[in-house]
Amino acid sequence: MQSCRITIFRGIWIATSFILGGLACQTSAQSVFPNKTIDITVPYPPGGGVDLLARLISSSMLTMGHSVIVENRSGAGGTVGARYVVGRPKDGHSLLMMNDAYAIAPGVYSKLGYDPKKDLAAVINVAWAPMLLVTSTDSKYKSVADVVAASKAKDAKVSYGSCGAGTDPHLAGEMMNIAFKISNTHIPYKGCGPALIDVLGGQIELAFVTISGAMTYVKSGKMRALAITSGERSKVMPDVPTLAESGARDFNLSQWQGLAVPSGTPEDVKFAIYELVSKIMKTDAMQKKIFDLGYTAANDGPEAFQKIVNSDIDRFTKLAKDLGLTME
C-alpha cells in the first residue's frame, strides 16, 4: 500500500513538474518579448505592398498596447535593410518585413554583406501576392494563347514591361519565355506604377505587375488581365486563368510576405513573435484588408517559412544564373 502511494505521489509530482515547466516556458517568452519598443525595418520605400503590410501589423500592435516603430531603409533590392537587421540585437525586438526579393537577391547581387540562409531567421509568412500579365482593353491580345502565337510568328517583336530588373514580375516574364520557348523582350520600369501607366496609355502592349497595383484597373474595365502567376486562381479575381492553365505547365510564382529576425534570436522569443503576429493576421479586419489587396492570407511558422525562404533562394539563384542576370 505504501509503495502504491509513493508511485501515485511520484506520478503527481512528475505531472505537476511538466505543467509548471510549460508555464515557466510561456512566462519566460512573455517576459522577454516584448519588453521594449519593437522596430520593424522595411527594406523598400514607403507606399509599397511590403511597407503597407508592415504598417498594418504595427498599427494592430499599437492598439494592443505595444510600442512599435516602422523604419524604411531601402536600396539594392532590399539588401540594405536586410544587412541592417542582421546587425541588430538578437532579442526579437528588431524585425525585418520582407518579401521574396530577399530570396532573389543572392542570385543577382555578388556582394550581399550577409549570408541569406544563416544570418536572418524566418518567423512568419503572412501573405502570398501573385502577379498579373496585363494588357490594355484595346489590345489585340485576348488570351495567353494570342501572346504566344504572336511571339512565335516570323520576325516577332513582342515585349513586356515589368516593375524593374530582377523583380518578381521580371522573373515571371522570363519564366513565361522559358515555359513557352519564346523570346519576348524585357522592358524594365522603375516600379509597377510607371509600367501600369504605359500599359494604359498603349506605350507597351504587355506587362507583368503586382496584383495589388493592377487590380483596380482590371476591375474597373480599364485593363485586361490575361493570366495570374499563382498555381491556383485567386479568390479575388476568379475569372482570370493561371499561366499553368494557359499552357505553362506547373507555373507558380507568388511573392511571400513575412517577418524575420537576426539569427541567434532565442526560439521561445521567435515563437512569441509568431503567436503575436498570427493572432493579428487572423482577425476579421486584417483578413479583409489582405483580401482587398488581392493577397492570399498565409500563416507559416518559423520552421515552415524558413523552408520556403531557403527553397526560393536555391530556385532563384539557379534561374538568375540561367538568365545571366546580375545587379550591382
Residues 296 and 266 reside in one and the same domain: yes
H-run or E-run covering 87 = none
Angle in degrees, CA 297, 130, 127, rounded to 5: 20
Q: Torsion angle, CA of 18/19/21/24, rounded to 10 degrees?
A: 170
Residue 10 predicted with pLDDT over 90 = no
pLDDT tens string 38-97: 999 999 888 888 999 999 999 999 999 999 999 999 988 899 999 999 999 999 999 999
Q: Which of 44-48, 231-235, 282-286 has the lowest mean pLDDT?
A: 44-48
Residues 264 and 278 reside in one and the same domain: yes
Question: Which residues fall within 8 angstroms of residue 238, CB to CB, at 6 or more apart?
Answer: none
Within a domain: 238 = no
Write out the DSSP string of 203-220.
Answer: SSS-EEEEHHHHHHHHHT
Q: What is the pLDDT of residue 31?
A: 53
Residues 224 and 295 reside in one and the same domain: no
Within a domain: 158 = yes
Residues 84 and 173 reside in one and the same domain: no
Q: Which of 2-11, 67-76, 289-298 has the lowest mean pLDDT?
A: 2-11
Between residues 15 and 163, the one the model is more confident about: 163
Residues 290 and 222 reside in one and the same domain: no
Give me the chain's average pLDDT, please: 90
**Residue 149: which region, alpha, beta or left (left: phi > 0; alpha: psi -120 to 50)?**
alpha
Give the whole-angstrom CA distance, residue 296 versus residue 310. 21
Residues 116 and 134 reside in one and the same domain: no
CATH at 71? 3.40.190.150
Range of the domain at 166: 130-228
Q: Are 63 and 31 in contact (CB under 8 A)?
A: no
Residue 17 predicted with pLDDT over 90 = no
pLDDT band at 16 (very low <50, low <70, confident <90, very high): very low
Within a domain: 236 = no
pLDDT tens string 169-209: 999 999 999 999 999 999 999 888 999 999 999 999 999 99
Give the whole-angstrom CA distance, residue 108 versus residue 94. 26
Give the whole-angstrom CA distance, residue 130 versus residue 175. 14
Three-state DSSP state, 172: helix
Q: The whole model's pTM is what?
A: 0.85
- Final residue of a structural domain among 228, 245, 274: 228
Residues 121 and 264 reside in one and the same domain: yes
Q: Are 131 and 212 in contact (CB under 8 A)?
A: no
CATH at 220? 3.40.190.10
Residues 110 and 139 reside in one and the same domain: no
Residues 119 and 161 reside in one and the same domain: no
Residues 135 and 200 reside in one and the same domain: yes
- Final residue of a structural domain among 204, 228, 252: 228
Within a domain: 243 = no
Residue whose C-alpha cell reads 542576370 in the numeric block:
325
Nearest-CA neighbor of 286 among 261, 260, 257, 306?
A: 257
Within a domain: 39 = yes
Q: Per the structure, how many domains does the chain have?
A: 2
Residues 296 and 223 reside in one and the same domain: no
Within a domain: 252 = no
Residues 121 and 101 reside in one and the same domain: yes
Q: What is the pLDDT of residue 312?
A: 96
Within a domain: 10 = no
Within a domain: 21 = no
